[in-house]
Structure 1
Amino acid sequence: MSRVCDLSGTRANNGMAVSHSHIRTKKLQQANLQQRKLWWEEGKKWIKVRVTTRTLKTIQKKGLNSYAKAMGIDLSKV
């Protein structure tokens, strides 16, 4: 299973780990993914999704249906 947000599509970010002596090595900064069951009001059912915490905050503010509509996601297929 890949570490990708089901709703926003957020993936890992390439970055550098910098030591005290300024030696740089590559590292991956993973997205903060959480498994959640969200209530979909229009569909009258729970949907199980893997979302980032940033997306969860946006869903709490805007609502699941309006967020999915803005992102062009069909919740009946999730």
Structure 2
Amino acid sequence: MSRVCQLSGKRANNGMAVSHSHVRTKKLQQVNLQQRRLWWAEGNRWVKLRVSTSALRTIQKKGLGAYAKELGINLAKI
């Protein structure tokens, strides 16, 4: 399974690790993904999602159904 948020689509970011001598090496900054069972009120059921923590905060603020609708994601297919 790829490390991509199922709702927001967040994925790894390419960055540089800079040492004390300023030698730069490539590194990946991974997304903080969590496996969660979230209650979807409109569908009246639990939905199992792999979401980033920033998406979880947005879900707490807006609600799962509203956030998925805003992103154009059909939770019935998940």
TM category (shorter chain) comes to: over 0.9
Q: Which runs of 5+ in 1 are unaligned?
A: none
- Equivalent position amino acid for 2:2 in 1: S
Q: Percent of counterpart pairs with the same letter?
A: 73
- Which 4+ residue blocks in structure 1 deviate beyond 3 angstroms? none
Q: Distance in 1 between matches of 2:8 and 2:56?
A: 10
Q: Distance in 2 between matches of 1:65 and 1:42?
A: 7
Q: Which runs of 5+ in 2 are unaligned?
A: none
Offset, 1:16: 0.1
Give the TM-score taking structure 2 as reference length. Answer: 0.99
Give the paired residue count.
78
Where 1:25 maps in the other structure, the secondary structure is strand
Give the TM-score taking structure 1 as reference length. Answer: 0.99
Offset, 1:12: 0.2
Indicate the residue corresponding to 1:64 in structure 2: 64
Alpha-carbon RMSD: 0.4
Indicate the residue corresponding to 2:39 in structure 1: 39
Q: How does 1:42-57 map onto structure 2 within 5 Å?
A: 42-57=42-57
